[in-house]
Structures are given as C-alpha cells and as structure tokens.
C-alpha cells in the first residue's frame, strides 16, 4: 500500500483528494495537515467522509510526512517548494497542486506569482503533470507540478491541431468559464453567494497567471510562433469548467479528418471523451469525475474551428489529475481509484 500524506487538507482540492484516495485500492491515508485544525477529526469538518476517513488533522510538525511514500500539496503557492527538499531527501515523492513546479521559466513564475522561487534545481527535474501529453516523464518523476485547471482544457483542446500543423498557432483564442470552487475555500466577497449567484463576469482580462503556463507548454507542441488570447469568466455554479477555443485553419482539411486527429490522439485515453463532430458537451456530464470531454464545430464550414472542452475543475482540473499522476509514478493502473461515473443531475 502507498502511504499518502496531504499538506493542506482543508481546502476544496484537499477534500477532493481525500474523497478520491479514501476508496483507492492501493492507498493508505497516513497524514493530513492543518495547523489551524490540529486535532480535529477530518469527518467533523467534512461529514461526507464519515466512515471513510478516520484520521484527524495534525499540525505540520507532528505529521511525520517523511514516513510517507508520496505527499500531495493542496496549499497556497510557495509552500511546496519550501518543504520539498526535505521530503525528497527522505525518499518521498511530491505532487504539488499549486504552481511551484509548473513553470520552468523562473522569471515568469516570479512575475506572476509575486514570490521568489527557492529551489530552481528541483524545478529543473520536475515533471509537468498533464498525463496525456507528458506520460513518460511523469512515470519517472520524483516531483510533479500539477497543471492549472484552465491550462488543462486549453492544452488538450489544441494539442492535436498544433501537432498536426493545421492551424495558425499565433492567433489562438480561449474563452473559458469556471465554477466558483475554482477560487478556493475561503471567505472572499467576490465568491459570496449573493455576489456570485445570478451573475456572470469576466476577470483577469488584461492578464491571467494561467496564460504563461499554457503558452510555455503549447510552444513545446509546435515550431510555429504561439500567440494566445485567454479570457476567464466566473459562472454561478459550484464546480465545472467550459472552455470554448477558436483556431483558424491553415490547411485544406475536411471535418472527418479533423475529427480523426482527435480520435487518433485520444482514442486510448481513459479520461478523454472525443464526442461526435458537432456535439455540445455539458459541464454536468463530467461532474465529480476525472473525465474531460471534447467536441469540434466548424461554423459554415469556414476556416475557423471551434473546440468545446468541459471538465470538473476540482477533479480532472486538479485532484483527480494529481491522483492520475500518482498512479503512474508508482506503476499502478492509471485509472485506479478514478473510475467514478459523473453525478447527474
């Protein structure tokens, strides 16, 4: 059994990790940290875990994380890189759900996250945790930087087209929407029910920190210059993400061939569903699952391709993807503990 520790178990990605790992056939939950909730039984904070998780939260210094096989960081940016050196030295693998090990460009990281990067040597060896595009590197990794939720949808939606060289890579557009849980479990005016409910708004229009992450990874897929216009929006729902991507076709290619690009790329992927051409995937079709669904449209058979991508931002966009990485790192079936059917209605 894999002994698992979670640092920062009180947020939405933390409780999602607990939900997924509590029934994982190869996992023993060993430590869950929270300085503020030290000693509080996990099930007292999250009643959904009664009878499934019998651990209590513990302060980080009491948690014996170095006795784990792998530690997940569901924490603010900067925490993982402060603790990773000690854990790695003890032979513990690290999966960070924040941004400490996502961006290889340190200057870009420090610009967007406003903190210094304290372990650049570890960053060099970190694997980017988007399994479908980086599987072999993750399999061999000691440390993984889990992708952001928006970047997951943008990369998987555009990768087959960039790799095939059939679109103008310099003028990509991503119009993306996320549920309120993407902002985390915290008291903040913008995410209060009376502020976010019955409302719809864009944010980060002049610049969002998921842009440099996405651009860095998209540039690995093509020799062409990559340009991305990315606009995120907040929608009044708890969980779910819908990304509408626009790309201009530069090759004479029919719809069947476009569909085939995606089916060939993802046909054997357990967590990507390429729907029939012209479909309209819904966020609720992925709720509480690690599934991501993609559908293609070509309005008026013109030169613009529209790619629709949906996922649960807390699962495939965060904790589920992290568990998928863990499975690879420990030689398990990639789907272990992740075959939940989406919740409907």
Distance between CA atoms of residues 7 and 35, nearest Å: 10
* The one catalytic residue among 68, 119, 149, 176: 149
> Please, are residues 44 and 54 in contact by the beta-carbon 8 Å criterion?
no
Angstrom CA distances, 141 to 95, 155, 241, 328, 332, stand at: 10, 21, 28, 9, 14
What kind and span of H or E run contains 211? helix 210-218
User: Collapsing DSSP states into helix, strand and coil, what is residue 314?
Assistant: coil
Distance between CA atoms of residues 258 and 297, nearest Å: 10
What the block records as the tokens of 164 is 């095939």
Distance between CA atoms of residues 172 and 227, nearest Å: 6
Specify the residue for token string 């391709």.
305
If one counts every other C-beta atom within 10 angstroms of the C-beta of residue 338, the result is 22
Alpha helices in 114-148 (DSSP H): 120-125, 131-139
Angstrom CA distances, 262 to 27, 155, 246, 338, stand at: 33, 13, 15, 23
Strand stretches in 115-238, DSSP E: 127-128, 143-145, 172-178, 201-202, 228-234
Among left, alpha and beta (phi > 0; psi -120 to 50; other), residue 51 is left
Q: Is the dihedral of CA 60, 321, 95, 327 positive or negative?
A: positive
R_g of the chain, CA atoms, integer Å: 20
Catalytic status, residue 325? no
Distance between CA atoms of residues 243 and 173, nearest Å: 10
Active site residues: 149
């Amino acid at each position: 059994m894999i002994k698992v520790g979670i640092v920062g178990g009180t947020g939405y990605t933390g409780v999602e990790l607990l939900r997924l790992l509590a029934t994982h056939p190869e996992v023993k939950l060993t430590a869950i940290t929270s300085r503020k909730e030290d000693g509080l039984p996990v099930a007292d904070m999250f009643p959904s875990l009664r009878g499934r998780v019998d651990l209590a939260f513990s302060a980080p210094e009491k948690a014996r994380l170095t006795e784990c096989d792998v530690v997940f960081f569901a924490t603010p940016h900067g925490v993982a890189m402060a603790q990773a050196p000690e854990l790695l030295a003890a032979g513990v693998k690290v999966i960070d759900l924040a941004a400490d090990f996502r961006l290889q460009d340190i200057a870009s990281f420090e610009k967007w996250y406003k903190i210094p990067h304290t372990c650049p040597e570890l960053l060099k060896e970190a694997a980017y945790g988007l399994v479908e595009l980086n599987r072999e590197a993750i399999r061999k990794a000691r440390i993984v930087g889990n992708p952001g939720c928006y970047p997951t949808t943008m990369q998987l939606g555009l990768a087959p087209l960039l790799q095939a060289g059939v679109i103008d890579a310099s003028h990509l557009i991503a119009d993306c929407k996320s549920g309120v849980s993407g902002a985390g479990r915290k008291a903040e005016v913008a995410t209060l029910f009376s502020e976010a409910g019955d409302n719809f708004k864009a944010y980060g229009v002049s610049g969002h920190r998921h842009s440099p992450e996405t651009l860095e990874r998209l540039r690995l897929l093509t020799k062409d210059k990559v340009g991305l216009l990315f606009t995120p929006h907040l929608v009044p729902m708890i969980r779910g993400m819908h990304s509408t991507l626009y790309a201009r076709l530069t090759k004479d290619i029919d719809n069947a061939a476009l569909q085939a690009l995606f089916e060939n790329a993802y046909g054997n992927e357990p967590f990507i569903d390429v729907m029939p051409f012209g479909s309209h995937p819904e966020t609720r079709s992925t709720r509480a699952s690690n599934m991501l669904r993609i559908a293609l449209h070509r309005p008026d058979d013109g030169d613009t391709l529209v790619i629709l991508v949906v996922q649960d931002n807390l699962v495939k966009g965060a904790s589920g993807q992290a568990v998928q990485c863990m499975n690879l790192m420990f030689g398990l079936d990639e789907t272990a503990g992740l075959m939940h059917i989406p919740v409907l209605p």
